[in-house]
Structure 1
Amino acid sequence: MLSHLDAVTIFASDVGRTKAFYTDLLGFSVVPQFTSPEADFIWLRSEKRSTSIIVQDVATRADKPTQALIPEASGGLMLGFAVDDAEVAHKTAQDGGYEIRTPVVDMGSGRTFGVKDPAGNYLQLFDVYPQVKEIQRQLGLG
């Protein structure tokens, strides 16, 4: 299976300040099409097309299965890997005996599940629907 590191989620108690750090200091810009209206989930991208950064309000993550139980002690990070098919990746992870954290769920823009790597890092593996891939392509994100 082929994949690539697509997003790093940073769980923040002060989303505005964290967003400002990455936009003001490092030049990331907000992607409005993938940012929640409440701004508790802000998608940031670099003009150089590096991995995206997502700033997630730690207080509002409870309804997001792949994020809800990640402890603060993990450093508040989750690596997001885009895969071709989340169901296939989930089965491969199960067959490999890896610690599956969540079942595959629909996230609106695709399907996702949570898993831990053997070193204990929290990962979100996801696919995106074709119409979302087209939006990403138009925005220079894919």
Structure 2
Amino acid sequence: MLGLKQIHHIAIIASDYAKSKAFYCDTLGFTLQSEFYREARDSWKGDLALNGHYTIELFSFPFPPPRPSRPESCGLRHLAFSVDDIDAAVAHLEGHGVKCEAIRIDPFTNKRFTFFNDPDGLPLELYQQS
């Protein structure tokens, strides 16, 4: 048996490292655990935590190609975050200038959800568990 226990981290490449770091930390509430500049790659790497758990590796690389998002392409489609109060979460995001789609109901679970984007257009989802 392989023995997977949980997802360790998710790697995200940002076109503007400082802008994305501010978005994930200041707007979404992640904390910066550590940060390194890798001179040989001209690249930043930030380790971001959510509620004390290491979750995202945020990278920068010179001139990364744009991420295809529409039409939907193969690969990772989006990241989803659970929230207790989706209305309050959407109000918080919109208060920080982040545009959210209309809140919808998942027809299979009857749970409320919405999508928004990070600074590079990566689709992110809020999903209300209760």
- Shorter-chain TM-score tier: 0.3 to 0.5
* Structure in which a larger fraction of residues adopt helix: 1
TM-score normalised according to structure 1 size: 0.39
TM-score normalised according to structure 2 size: 0.42
